[in-house]
Amino acid sequence: MIIKYVFDRLFALIGLIVLSPILLVIFIIHKIKMPKGSFLYRQVRIGKDAKPFRIFKIRTMREESEAEGTVTTADDPRVLPFGRWLRESKVDTFFELFNILIGDMSFVGPRPDVPGYADKLTGNDRKILELRPGLTGPASIKYRHEDRILAEQPNPKKYNDEVIWPDKVKINLEYYEKWSLWLDISILWKTIFG
């Protein structure tokens, strides 16, 4: 796992340097399209060994939207028009490279949950918490369009809690048990080109 840690930090630094001109352009457009509120959004997530950390993302929703819930659907009215594009293109996650650089996250691993979900893990499922959360992972690939799936449900939060989240736990536990550097490379490949 030391190889993974070094790989993550090295490529996060390279990624931030390479993407910095794009991020500057996104910042300017963001300020024009979404002048009210901050550019960056920080939210508490649960990381390795169940320790909370603050994830960095580009803000896509109205300020104070989190008070209305953390489950987001494709047609969520809280998401602003430019924010919708940021989410669909996954550009909103570019600043998570900073989380990788400082060691809170990895390129590949289970997506970090908001507080409340990790507490529900019991028994063998708690092994997932031994992993550093990832920018992408096998569950992220399967649920690439999770917001669209949730938009089709009469009760998105209930569907997330009873169907999607338990399936993600199962997928993430399988990743934990089968981890290899080649598996990570394969997941990165599918994330970028799949």
| DSSP assignment of 127-160 | GGGGSPPEEE-HHHHHTTTHHHHHHTSSSHHHHI
Long-range contacts of 49-57 (CB under 8 A, 24+ apart): 49/129, 49/130, 50/118, 50/129, 52/115, 53/99, 53/104, 53/112, 55/96, 55/99, 55/104, 55/105, 55/112, 56/95, 56/96, 56/98, 56/99, 57/92, 57/93, 57/95, 57/96
pLDDT over 80 (residue 8):
yes
The two three-digit tokens of residue 183, written as one number: 């598996």
For residue 184, give the nearest of 129, 114, 149, 132 by alpha carbon: 132
- The pLDDT of residue 65 is 72
The pLDDT tens digits for 51-83 are 999 999 999 988 777 667 778 888 888 998 999
Average pLDDT, the chain: 93
Q: Which segments of the chain are extended strands (E)?
A: 40-46, 52-58, 106-108, 134-136
Model pLDDT for residues 11-48, shown as the tens digit of each residue: 999 999 999 999 999 999 999 999 888 999 999 999 99
What is the tally of structural domains in the chain? 1
pTM: predicted TM-score of the whole model, two decimal places? 0.90
- The total of other beta-carbon atoms located within 10 Å of residue 123's CB is 6
User: What are the pLDDT digits (tens) for 93-152?
Assistant: 999 999 999 999 999 999 999 999 998 999 999 999 999 999 999 999 999 999 999 999
| Residue 105: both structure tokens together | 């996250």
**Domain that residue 121 falls in:** 2-193
